[in-house]
Amino acid sequence: MDELTLYFDRAACSLGVRIALEKTGADYNDVRIAIRKGEAQGEDYLRINPAGRVPALRIPGEERALTELVAIHAWLDNKFPQAELLPGGMGKFRALELLSSMATGLHANGFGPFFRPGRFSPEADHQPVLSKHAVTNIAEGFRLLEAKVPDNGFMFGAEPGSADYMIYVYARWGAFTGLDMKAEFPRLMSLADRVEALPQTRAALEKENLPSIHEQG
């Protein structure tokens, strides 16, 4: 197999990796792992990613697939520098810092228990409380991002990159939380609109048959 292979689910965090792949112009295959059907915990996929999560990226010549969002974005930037997924100089580490903080904070402590409270408590009575509290964590994560979003351009300058692509994914998820995203986080949502207008984002949405961020639900 000479092409990259992205293991993904529709509208999952793997969408951010897909947008990055579209930006690189690389040829790649994709394999859907339907999380709600339990496929991420299936024997076949656990051999690819023992953590049972998407995304995973199969790289030609590598024995194991690469997993974890930050690692995949960093590898893509190294492999395809022309795509400018991460900025240069100290900006690269600031972008990795932001990607890491979103992955461990907004994603893991917010959207994780919001979408899948059963992973955090086996007690059915506790799960609605977990989901409700998760929205508080999500809102706090978005408030931190809102303070960092520039008036124009993208997070690290005039060109978009991996941080913008992941913010876009989380902004899409925000529509399901009950938060008034446009009213509470106008700068973040304006950034999401700028990202959605990009050709690489439109291509990614088309491949996953996803609607605009404003047409979800």
Domain residue spans in the chain?
A: 4-83, 90-198
Residue 25: CB atoms within 10 Å: 10
CA distance 110 to 116: 10
CA distance 127 to 117: 5
CA distance 106 to 99: 10
pLDDT for position 118:
75
**Count of all residues that appear for the chain in the document:** 217
Q: Check if the beta carbon of residue 140 is closer than 8 Å to that of residue 185.
A: no
CA distance 46 to 39: 9
CATH classification of 90-198, choosing from 1.20.1050.10, 3.90.1150.10, 3.30.365.10, 3.40.30.10? 1.20.1050.10
- CATH 3.40.50.11890 assigned to domain 4-83? The reply is no
SS3 4: strand
Question: Residue 145's Cα: distance from chain center in Å?
Answer: 15
pTM over 0.75: yes
What is the block-wise mean pLDDT of the chain (217 residues), using blocks of 10 residues? Answer: 91 98 98 96 97 97 97 98 98 98 96 84 76 93 98 97 98 96 98 98 98 89
Residue 133: CB atoms within 10 Å: 15
Q: Check if the beta carbon of residue 10 is closer than 8 Å to that of residue 210.
A: yes
